[in-house]
Amino acid sequence: MQTNVIKKKDGQTLILSRVLIGGALLSASAIAGFVLFFQIRQAGDAESSTAAFYAADTGMESAIYCYYRQNFSTENIDAFCDTSGDTQKLIGGAGSCINPSDCKNLGHFDVKLSCFTDPANKTSVISCMPAANELVSPVKGIYIISDGSTTRAQRVLDYTIITASGN
């Protein structure tokens, strides 16, 4: 006599494996989306970072120009060359930034210029303007720090120039 015994088969393993694989795929997708979000954000920050760098570089050039063009006998270069300003981009085919609507602000810079007597120790700061009784300037070099910033990035450049008297 033959009996048909149907064995009860449990599907718990199949359900459990599907839930685990689904959870792993969901987690991997969430992590990939999170990483992609930060990559896109960082790509946008590259533009801000570049604008901040060029703003700091503009400040550096401004300070060097200021230092070498000043008349030391009549102008207080220590205060005059510490400056700030904005870098701008022409838009719409304009020829200059006379009209503010023709330009877009890209970044801002702040510059601090100081003179020193010992090239090995830039903290020995002196006045860049020689005293009236000095025939030879004791300045051995100049130190410039320029801070460029945008709304999302900041870059700082420092520059040291050893003058001819500093060897």
- Is the per-residue pLDDT at 26 higher than 90? yes
Residue 1 falls within a domain, yes or no? no
pLDDT tens column, 27-68: 999 999 988 887 887 676 888 888 889 999 999 998 888 887
Residue 115 three-state SS: strand
pLDDT tens column, 62-91: 888 888 777 666 666 667 777 888 888 777
Q: Give the span between the Cα atoms of 91 and 96, in whole angstroms.
A: 9
Q: What is the pLDDT of residue 23?
A: 93
Q: Which of 33, 45, 60, 56 is nearest to 142 (CA)?
A: 60
Q: Which of 49, 55, 47 is nearest to 147 (CA)?
A: 55
Residue 57 falls within a domain, yes or no? yes
Residue 6 falls within a domain, yes or no? no
Residue 105 falls within a domain, yes or no? yes
Q: What is the pLDDT of residue 134?
A: 66
Helix (H), strand (E) counts: the chain: 2, 5
Q: Residue 124: what residue type?
A: S
Domain total of the chain: 1
Structure tokens at 30: 């969430």
Q: What is the pLDDT of residue 64?
A: 86
Domain range for 19: 12-166
